[in-house]
Chains A and B, each alone.
Chain A
Amino acid sequence: MASYAVRKSINLAPTVRALPNGIPSAPRLNLAARAPSDGHGHGAAGPRSDVPTRLTGTVTSPSVGLVSRTFVAPSPTTHLHQRLIHTSVAAKDAPQVPDFAPYRPKDETTNRAMSYFMVGSLGVLSASVAQSTITGFLETMAASADVLALAKAEVELASIPEGKNVIIKWRGKPVFIRHRTPEEIEEARTVDLKALRDPQRDEDRVKKPEWLVMLGVCTHLGCVPIGESGDYGGWFCPCHGSHYDISGRARKGPAPLNLEIPPYDFNEADGKLIVG
């Protein structure tokens, strides 16, 4: 049985991308490599230009004749010239930009001043808030009103005749209250300040000239001075012999300072003196 062999050569579609010159793209394959022992190179590396690539066809000389083969390569199914960045949309040099001119400020300086004004206003507000916050926090540490009210001492002023001393107790300490006569006031105000150990004007020591209010604690070592005695018609401390004048100022003896003035106020409506 005769057998026929029908030989049919087809080229399959390339599975890789083909370069424009028909060579499949094989990035890792170095087609230009030459054997290192080949001593006679032909110029520049690359496929020879005078011989067609073996892919396009071959010329062989078998025993009889000459066979020239030319492969017809179907056009590749992929795009030859892949345009990865496509430019199908016409590139406009300046696309339609809206006109912002109506929104732009007429004058830059107004905007700048406004911005800084807002910054400053925020600073003012926050500083004020911080201040009141801190003040409120610190006020919680202060004594409350009922404690302060208990810590006050009230004296009926009408009960103290002129030229008399009264000693009251205020926060555990004696307080001297003297209803001074006009002569005593005159005497206290005419003292030469330069002669004093702790110079202080009588006007600075009293709120009303006829009422002298001061702490009855000797500034030397804390004894209680005796009233209406001493060399200066004021107070005399028996412990170490300090003399105070009619304004409570240290005049003689070891006392370094004048008698201390407590915080006090007059209640005119009720005729009372409130110490504390």
Chain B
Amino acid sequence: MALANAFYNTVVKRNSVFVTSIFAGAFAFNVGFDIAVTSFWDRWNQGKQWKDIRSKYIQEESDS
């Protein structure tokens, strides 16, 4: 209840603040979503990507 009131009074009450926080939130959401999807992708494809297997091939080249 107190949280709801605080949210309403700080964010919503003034429309300029509301819209600004929406855009800021969109930016933060973009970044966070990107990070989340990228980390999920890396985990899903672990050991298949070039950055994971690069060390093997580079070492082989230097050995030979």
Contacts and interface: CB of A to CB of B under 8 A. Distances in A.
Given A132-B30, A269-B58, A124 B22 contact: yes
A259 to B, nearest CB: 36
Nearest to B22: A123
Secondary structure at the B interface, as helix, strand, loop or mixed, is: helix
A160 to B, nearest CB: 23
Contact of B29 (A112, A116, A128): A128
A109 B8 contact: yes
A107 B21 contact: no
Nearest to B8: A113
B33 interface: yes
Interface string B15-45: 0001101110110011001000000000000
B49 interface: no
Contacts of B30: 128, 131-132
B12 to A, nearest CB: 4
B5 interface: yes
A112 B4 contact: yes
B22 A127 contact: yes
A249 B12 CA distance: 53
A109 to B, nearest CB: 5
A81 to B, nearest CB: 61
A113 B21 CA distance: 15
Contacts of B58: 269
B22 A109 contact: no
Contact of A110 (B4, B11, B12, B33): B4
Contacts of A110: 1, 4
B26 A113 contact: no
Contact of B1 (A109, A125, A131): A109
Interface of B: 1, 3-5, 7-8, 11-12, 18-19, 21-23, 25-26, 29-30, 33, 58
